[in-house]
Amino acid sequence: MKVSIDEFQAYLADRYGGWANEQGLFMKLVEEIGEVAEVINKRAGNKPSDENDLQEQLGTELVDMMHYIVAIAAINNIDLTDIMIEKDKRASVKYHHEINLESFLSERKRDKV
C-alpha cells in the first residue's frame, strides 16, 4: 500500500486538528531527531548496540520524524506538496539541476502510460 503526503497530512489533521499545538509537536519532533541520530551513531559504530536490525530501526525513526513534520504542517493548513514542488523548482534553478521534481514526476507519469 502506498500513502501520499496529502493522504498522510489529511490523516494527521484528523488526528491532531483542534487540540494539538505546534510547540508540543515540535518537541516530539526534536525527540525523534535524537532517536534517528542515535541509530545513525550505532550504525557507524560510535555507540554500542545490542539491536540486530538497525536498518529497520532507522526506517522506524525516520517515519516518526515524518509523522511530526507532517503533523505540524497539518494543524497549520500548510500544503506540503505544493510547497515541496515550488521550493524544489527554485532550488533546481539556483543549483543548476538538470531536472526538477515537477518535471521528474511528469516524465515518470508519461513513461508509465
Binding segment toward Mg ion, per CB under 5 A, in 28-36, 39-47, 83-91, 102-110? 28-36
Contacts 24+ apart (CB under 8 A), 27-34: 28/68, 29/65, 29/68, 29/69, 29/72, 32/61, 32/64, 32/65, 32/67, 32/68, 33/65
Sketch the per residue contact string, 29 through 58, with Mg ion: x for CB under 5 A, - otherwise.
---x--x-----------------------
Q: Supply the minimum distance, in Å, between the C-beta of residue 76 and Mg ion.
A: 22
- Which of 38, 64, 86, 88 binds Mg ion (CB under 5 A)? It is 64
Identify which of residues 40 and 101 has a Cβ nearer to Mg ion in the complex: 40
Q: Supply the minimum distance, in Å, between the C-beta of residue 31 and Mg ion.
A: 7
Q: Supply the minimum distance, in Å, between the C-beta of residue 56 and Mg ion.
A: 12
Residue numbers 67-106 binding Mg ion by CB under 5 A = none
Residues near Mg ion, by CB under 5 A: 32, 35, 61, 64
